[in-house]
Structure 1
Amino acid sequence: MGIFSRLSDIINSNLNALLDRAEDPQKMIRLIIQEMEETLVEVRSSSARVIADKKEAQRRLSRLQDEAGEWEKKARLALEKGREDLARAALAEKQSVSEEQALVEKEFTALDEHMEQLSSEISQLQQKLNDAKAKQKTLVMRQQTVSTRMKTRRQLQKDSLQDAFEKFEHYERRMDNMEGELESMDLGRDDRQKLASEIDSLAQDEGINAELDRLRADLQRDGKAEQ
């Protein structure tokens, strides 16, 4: 079963509402257009059959009208010849033909009304189809626009991230350079401090040695004095 089950469903349908409810409006509009085109072919085929039926009914009407006229002439001739019985029989045949003619006229009228209805429905369906195709073009354009905008936004985001990474790397390099400068300023400072410390230690050792020599001298003097 298609999207629409009857022609009236298509004519009375709200395309915007259908598309709003659809998960995939592009797919939905394609199916709607396909359904409309198929229905339009069917309705036009029905119209062709109705037109053929109208032509046939018109031919039957013409034939019956001629036949009724002929029976009218025969009844008149029979009456002129004094054959009332034949005139009555001819008029009876004319009445029968006239009754059939009345039925065909009703049939023709019904076909004519049906044709007018089909013509109106074809016009409405064609308008719906045109609207659907216009909406399809709009959807395609909107999709292309959205795709382009999304692509542009992704590119902008990518560029922003790349710029952020580059800035971060730049700041890292600056920090590395600053740390390198600081470390370079400290180069040799430890050696100088170590050297100064060793020299200070030597001076300290000399002072201690001098004190030891003094104490030794004092002890030697004290030992001599006791002897």
Structure 2
Amino acid sequence: MGIFSRTRDIIAANFADLLEKAEDPSKMIRMIIMEMEETLVEVRASAARTIADQKEMRRHIVKLDRLQADWADKAQLALSKNREDLARAALVEKRKAADMADQLNSEVAVLDDSLRAFEADIEKLQTRLREARSRQTAIAARLESAENRVKLRTLLASERVDEAMARFDALERRVDHAEGRADALGLADSKPSLADEIAALAAGDKVDEELEAMKRALNAGKEG
């Protein structure tokens, strides 16, 4: 495929259609970008060769212009010496140089058109390349997001999540038991407050009084 036809195909390509039909969109867009980069390098190389050819042609045109002037001077000299035959021959050579210069000027004009076409194609290719790279970034982000969602949903649907939650429940129960034991030990080791000690003394007095009353009642029964 020629560089011009391939360039036109790339410029006219519909990326959206290509990506929809691709089994692996990320791989497809990488291939598109590689193809565009290679084509851009080739177009620039062709443009560089065209510019070099133009410069060489223009140098030849300058030489031919000088040659025409030189043959004109020679024809003038020959004519001044009454050598019309030599003057005619010199003018024939001058005409040959002029024809060659005209041909080269026509070729330079053709190359000018080619360079304008190269410039337009390069600009369009660069635009399409930026578009492709932007799509590559977006596709990579979407693909990563989709893969992460698949992993998350797969994990949530698996039994490992239930097993993990069951382990968490068991750990919480163990922590509850440990905390309960710590609280119980704290109750056993705690000292009574001052109010508790005084209340205990008062309760002890009542018990003593009740005990003495029972003793007196018992003794009175025996005496009777």
Structure 2: distance between partners of 1:114 and 1:69: 31
Task: Establish whether residue 108 from structure 1 lines up as the match of residue 108 from structure 2.
Answer: yes
TM-score, L = length of structure 2: 0.65
Of residues 140-149 and 127-136 in structure 1, the stretch that sits farther from structure 2 once superposed is 140-149
Structure 1: distance between partners of 2:127 and 2:83: 65
> Residue 108 of structure 1 aligns to which amino acid in structure 2?
V
Structure 1: distance between partners of 2:47 and 2:95: 33
Q: Identify the residue that residue 55 of structure 2 maps to in structure 1.
A: 55
Q: Identify the residue that residue 213 of structure 1 maps to in structure 2.
A: none
Residues 138-189 of structure 1: per-residue CA shift (max 9 Å, x gap): 1011112222333444455559x739x97xxxxxxxxxxxxxxxxxxxxxxx
Residues 63-82 of structure 1: per-residue CA shift (max 9 Å, x gap): 11111111112222222333
Structure 2: distance between partners of 1:23 and 1:106: 50
Q: Identify the residue that residue 184 of structure 2 maps to in structure 1.
A: none
Structure 2: distance between partners of 1:33 and 1:15: 11
Structure 2: distance between partners of 1:144 and 1:10: 28
Q: Where does structure 2 lack aligned partners over 5 or more consecutive residues?
A: 167-224
Cα RMSD (Å): 2.6
Task: Establish whether residue 31 from structure 1 lines up as the match of residue 20 from structure 2.
Answer: no
Equivalent pairs counted in the alignment come to 163
Q: Identify the residue that residue 123 of structure 1 maps to in structure 2.
A: 123
Residues 3-22 of structure 1: per-residue CA shift (max 9 Å, x gap): xx722111111111111111
Structure 2: distance between partners of 1:20 and 1:58: 50
Q: Identify the residue that residue 139 of structure 1 maps to in structure 2.
A: 139
Secondary structure at 2:129 match in 1: helix
Structure 2: distance between partners of 1:65 and 1:7: 38
Task: Establish whether residue 70 from structure 1 lines up as the match of residue 70 from structure 2.
Answer: yes
Q: Describe how 1:1-227 pairs up with structure 2 within 5 A.
A: 6-157=6-157, 162=162
Give the fraction of aligned pairs with identical amino acids, expressed as a percent: 44
Secondary structure at 1:6 match in 2: helix
Secondary structure at 1:82 match in 2: coil
> Residue 74 of structure 1 aligns to which amino acid in structure 2?
K
Q: Where does structure 1 lack aligned partners over 5 or more consecutive residues?
A: 167-227
Deviation at 1:50, TM superposition (A): 1.1
TM-score, L = length of structure 1: 0.64
Structure 2: distance between partners of 1:25 and 1:144: 13
Computing the radius of gyration over CA atoms, which structure comes out larger, 1 or 2? 1
Residues 75-100 of structure 1: per-residue CA shift (max 9 Å, x gap): 22222333222221111111111111
Deviation at 1:126, TM superposition (A): 1.6
